[in-house]
Each structure stands twice: as structure tokens, then as C-alpha cells.
A and B are shown apart, each in its own frame.
Chain A
């Protein structure tokens, strides 16, 4: 199976370990993983600000880079949500549609496509609060959101439960947004930071040592908030935990 690895700009620049873990994890399953070297971004920063035309050239580049793979996999719910739902500033050719349909977020790819049953190399003996990124949760159906009266399921927790030693703790507000919101974090800084402070305080009260999420951008925001408040919480991407990070 030929996989195109998409490493979002935040991961590329700030959390290279997340990209490395994603690559190694996919290779553990015997996949043929390629990293298109000229990749940049999915176009989300522009699109989420309403500037679709400004995103068109970036979207075209994305499709050019990621055509020809069986699947495109990225360790980010929000970027995959962008590609799947909002990569619409360019004409929807067969190539564009193919890329959009075959782009998967790492957790759902492991859970739904590979149907991973065991992660024998992974051990993470810590109290873990899982942070459900909003785009992954409500945009690409990672789990049953707390608002809906539907049968419970959670793909990321199913995977984390396969990691030896993980002890999950429950948040009082299990899937409240952490306030990152992309450009929102900059243009509405007071509310964004307050949401972040409340989120990390909830994690602390729940007794977590580590916060695990499938999105680096939320983690970066939360980590910044926790450090500002002096809370001893550690933040790590689910790709690293599933790949056997010792922490």
C-alpha cells in the first residue's frame, strides 16, 4: 500500500517528533510511505479566514504533491478536515476528488483502514487525559460527541486502550473546545487564552500527568497555557504514544 505522508506546517516546524513518529508507526505496519518533498500546507489558514481565493494555489500544490497514492495520511484532524470538507477553491477534477477522498487522519486510518488490533511495542504507564480536537471529533467523526444521543464510540480511545499502562482519566467537560481555533487564537486572544486556561485546569483536576491528542496545534496552545499557569502537565501527540514513545 503506497502512502503519501502529509506533515502539516505546525508539525513540520514545531513538533518534528510527531512527523517522525507518524512515519515510523506507518512503517511498522509494512506500508510503503513516501514524503513528497515539496509539500507545504493544506490551505486551512486562508480558508478558515474566508479567503478561499487566496488558498487556491496552495490547494493546487497540495493535490499535485499528493496525487498517485493509495492513501494520504496526516497526523492532524483539522488539516484532514480541511482537505476532505473545504478544499474547494480549485476546480474539482477527478484528481482533486481522488486526493480528497483518500486523505485520512492517522487515528482513523489506523482504526478504520488498517483495523489495527495490537500495538505490542507501545507502553505508556501514565495517567492520560485525551483531548478531543474539535475538527477530528465533530468534523471527521473520531468519536461520539457528548452532545449527541447516539451509541458511544471513540476511535482514539480504542487505540489508546491497546497501549500497555495507559490509565485514562475523565475530564469534567470532555469535549469542550480548548480555544485554539487557528487565527482565532490571535484575533480573539483573551477568550482563546481563557478557554485554554480552563481546559488545562480541567485536565489538572482530573489527575492527568499527560495530555494526549491527535492534533499538534491544540496541544501547542494548551502547553503554552499550562506553562503560563505553572501547571505540571505534559503534552504529547497520539502518534508518539502509539509508536512506543517512552515519554
Chain B
């Protein structure tokens, strides 16, 4: 593939011709001004005119290790999708930088947030009990779920008690963890996702590919196709406002008629028993406030001690996620409305066990902003579905193996450990160091391929013996013959398929040194 084919944009002198001109009418509000709210202010990328089938995610085969590299390769084989995905997320990274650099005390805020989480997680039992007591005093029913299955059974029980058959719900990674939608489908309960991206994914029967932007791997044409197939919209109209409006129009009746509403939780405040959700579409408010029965699913790590701590996280969350100062809606749910009923389901699902893992417990600080995904050069070029797990990208690499060590044993290797993720993390999780640590754990427990471990054993044996090492690469002209294999420990020349091989040097440094600096026998 030539440089021109890879970067046809160069010819036209702009970064990406798919970027709509600022004068595009569809990007303007009713007052004629260009939309500048959170997601609307991201650089709009028009779906390409050529239909390119959307690449699908990793192949799931029970507990067998996910082949992320294979799925990523398929993603990259769809260059229009790959380019749009990378551009869109890099744009979020740049907006995040601008927002973060607009706050002089940004780094102190991160430190403060990290410390609040350290404190809360190390006193989690106390804060959970305080939260439960406060919630009960507010008239909220509180349930405890050991795992995803128990969460699902509890929610089903609540629904059955009320004869409820339909739920509107806002986006929640926790319910994704629990396989909630699939479980409820089997019980004959209808669920309507109210977040636009999540609804797209639900209609396409696909998992979310990104924590914050669940359908970011899709182009507008993909969405137009999904909506045409499921909602009956015009398949050739990929205008964002038309598509968003179509979703809104078709979802509103469900919201008004639903028997129950559900949300996840961004922050749970121990002193007041409040659940706080942060959205840009107001869909958590509708899901929580319209039906007579409201249920909030809460991961136990979402606790913060007091309302005064919330401001620290609110300042960090949307700036990190989208580069906007705050989400459009920051909603506090505390008491049931008159005539309605309110439930909290507090879910462990592996969190207590993770809290006991010395090297990995700080991953529980995560506030699900997605900044690590946006900055990750591997994630941006792989698509979130290539990870075959609830959590994709850097945070996924360190959380997923706690759910299933064998299935996700490959994921910590889908990283260059460049460390950008750690630097953007608003709660200062040392993500890339945990990726490194996971590799050690997995190798020690023989959860890496035998071939790889065998190669490393062989390499270690050669590199520990100077004579053997010199025999392997010593002679000048044989270095090239040996080194790709030596350097990459791989019988197949994967290097040369995509890159030119390095030139053969006239002689190694070692040989040069011997020839030029050791004639007199010194050193």
C-alpha cells in the first residue's frame, strides 16, 4: 500500500477531507451558532460516501484466550472506519488536553482525587454501611449482590413484585458486566437503552466498544443502516441530527410507558445516601424520574465519603472524557418521589477480591471517563470490540483478567506500555505499570502461550552466556540472518511483512571495538 493510499488527504492539504466544513448547516443550532456543547463540539467527521462494512469484534470461543491482534487486524482492514475512529478519539484527547491545561491546579486535582479514592477504598466497609444507612433513612430499598447473576436476580425480583415488564435504562458499564440485557431477554423483560450510543449498540446487538462513546467505532452510515433496519429510517440519510432525532422520537414513547427505570451510578455519596449520574443527554434523569419504579445499580467502588468531595471528581470527569468542563446533566437521586419506589442494588462482582490484590487494587479508583482509551494508540487503531471484553483499552487490560484470567490472558500484551494512559488518568491509576505487572502474573501462572514462554527461555539462556550470544550475532554478516529471529524470537518473519528489514551493518559494534580499540590489548 502506498503512502498516497494510506494518506490520500495529504494531496488536498488538509488533515482529513471527511471533516465537515465549519459552515455545514447541520452543525448549527437554532440560533445559527455552531453547536459547541460537549459532544457537539468534537470535530465532526462525516461518514465517507463509500459504504464500507463495519468490522466486527473479537471472536468469542468460550474461555479460550481472546485473539485481540486478529480482531484489530480486521478493524484496520476497514481503512475508513479505522481512520475515522482514530481521528475522533484523538480529537477527544486534544480537547481533554485543552480542558486540563485550562486549570492551573489540574495535577493537584488529580492527586486529590486519587487520595480521596485511596481513603475511601481503604475504609470501604465503613462507607458502604454509612451509605446503606443513609439510603434507608431516605426511604430507599437497599440490596446487596455478590455477583452479576445475583444482581440480575434481585432486579428481576423487584420487577416481578410490581408486575413490571418493560424497563428504560441509561448507560451503565456495571450492567454490561452483569450481562443484564441478555439475562432479561431470557426472562421476557423488555429493556430500552436510552443513551443514544448504547441504543445504537443495542439495536445492532453489539456490546459497547467504549466506556463513554459506546458506538464510536461506527460511522454515521453504519448508524443509518442500523436505524433503517430497526427503526425504519432513511438508510441514505446519515445526518447526525436526523439520526439522533429519530432515536429520540422512537425512544420517548418507551420512556413514557415503561414500568420501571434504571440507571447506573457515577458517584455514590456515603453521608447522604445519594446516587449521582453524569450524562450529556439527560437520559438518566428520564430513566430514573419518569417511571414509578426506579432502580440504581451501583458498583461498590463508586463510593465517595461526602458531598464536598464530589466537586473534585466532577471537575475531572468530563474534562478527562470529552474535554468539556462538565456533563450537561449532573443528577442527584436521593429519595423516592411521592407515590414511587426507589431501589439501590450494590454490586461486588469481583471488586472485593480485587481490593485484596496488592498490585491491582488501585484499578478500583477508575471513574470510567475513558481518557485512557482516547489516548491509547493501540486502542484507537484496534476498535474497542477487538478486546472481546466488557472493558476495552488500557483500563480493560488491567481489569478484565480479574474477571477471567484465561480468557483475557492475552489482553495485557495488547499494549506498547507507552504510559500515556497513566498520565491522562484523572485518578492517577498507574495503568501501564499494572499492565507490566499483569504480564508477570500471567507468565508465572503459565497463562501465556507455551511458544512465547519457550522463546523467552531460549533467549534468556543465550543472553546470559556471552559466548553463545556472540555465536548467535557475532559475525558481522550473519547478524542479519539471525537477528530478526533473535530479536523477535519468532520463526515467522512478521517484521518483514509490514516493514522493510534493517540494512546489514558492515560489522557489529563488538567487532568494531575489537578491531579498533583492542589492538594493544587494553580494556
Contact = CB atoms under 8 A, between A and B. Distances in A.
B90 interface: yes
B76 A38 contact: no
A14 B479 contact: yes
A181 B415 contact: yes
B490 A12 contact: no
Interface string A28-57: 000000110111110101101111111111
Contacts of B378: 188, 191, 195
A189 B498 contact: yes
B69 A195 contact: no
Interface residues of B, number: 90
Interface string B500-523: 111101111111110001100001
Given A50-B442, A54-B457, A225 B499 contact: yes
B416 A181 contact: yes
A192 B498 contact: yes
A214 to B, nearest CB: 15
B72 A188 contact: yes
A41 B436 contact: no
Contacts of B420: 134, 138, 145, 147, 175-177
Contact of A149 (B103, B412, B465, B503): B103
Given A46-B460, A229-B2, A14 B483 contact: yes
Interface residues of A, number: 86
A49 B442 CA distance: 10
Interface in B412-430: 412-420, 422-424
B382 interface: yes
A114 interface: no
Interface stretch (B3-11, B288-296, B300-308): B3-11
A217 B193 CA distance: 47
B502 A14 contact: yes
B183 interface: no
A39 B456 CA distance: 18
Given A46-B459, A58-B464, A224 B101 contact: no
Nearest to B510: A12
A143 interface: no
B72 A48 contact: no
Contacts of B444: 50, 52-53
A204 to B, nearest CB: 8
Contacts of B377: 176-177, 179, 195
A113 interface: no
A61 B466 contact: yes
Given A13-B479, A50-B439, A224 B499 contact: yes
Interface string A114-138: 0000000000000000000010011
B106 to A, nearest CB: 4
B460 A12 contact: no
A197 to B, nearest CB: 6
Interface stretch (A3-11, A94-102, A103-111, A157-165): A3-11
B436 A48 contact: yes
Contacts of A18: 509
Interface in A225-246: 225, 227-231
Nearest to B517: A35
A41 B489 CA distance: 15
**Best-buried of A46, A176, A220 by chain B (most CB within 10 Å):** A46
B484 to A, nearest CB: 9
Nearest to A51: B456
A201 B440 contact: no
**Main SS class of interface, A:** helix
B459 A45 contact: yes
B375 interface: yes
B230 interface: no
Contacts of A57: 460-461, 463-464
B489 A45 contact: yes
A139 interface: yes
A243 to B, nearest CB: 14
A247 interface: no
Nearest to B452: A49
A134 B416 CA distance: 9
B413 A40 contact: no
Interface in B92-140: 97, 100-101, 103-104, 106-107
B416 A180 contact: yes
Contact of B500 (A48, A138, A223): A223
Contacts of B106: 149
Interface of B: 1-3, 6-7, 10, 15, 68-69, 72-73, 76, 82, 86, 90, 97, 100-101, 103-104, 106-107, 375, 377-378, 381-382, 412-420, 422-424, 432, 436, 438-444, 448, 452-453, 456-457, 459-461, 463-466, 469, 473, 479, 483, 486-490, 494-495, 497-503, 505-513, 517-518, 523
Given A138-B418, A229-B1, 16 more contacts: A9-B463, A13-B486, A37-B513, A43-B463, A50-B440, A50-B443, A51-B457, A148-B107, A148-B423, A188-B378, A191-B69, A191-B381, A201-B6, A204-B3, A224-B501, A231-B3
Interface of A: 7, 9-20, 23, 34-35, 37-41, 43, 45-46, 48-58, 60-61, 86, 134, 137-139, 145-150, 172-173, 175-177, 179-198, 201, 204-205, 220-221, 223-225, 227-231
24 contacts: A7-B509, A9-B486, A14-B483, A45-B456, A51-B453, A61-B466, A134-B417, A138-B420, A138-B432, A139-B419, A147-B420, A148-B423, A181-B416, A183-B488, A188-B413, A189-B495, A193-B499, A194-B381, A195-B377, A201-B7, A224-B499, A224-B502, A225-B498, A227-B499
Please provide the 5 A-B residue pairs with the shortest distance between their CB atoms, ordered closest to farther: A224-B499, A181-B416, A50-B439, A50-B443, A57-B464
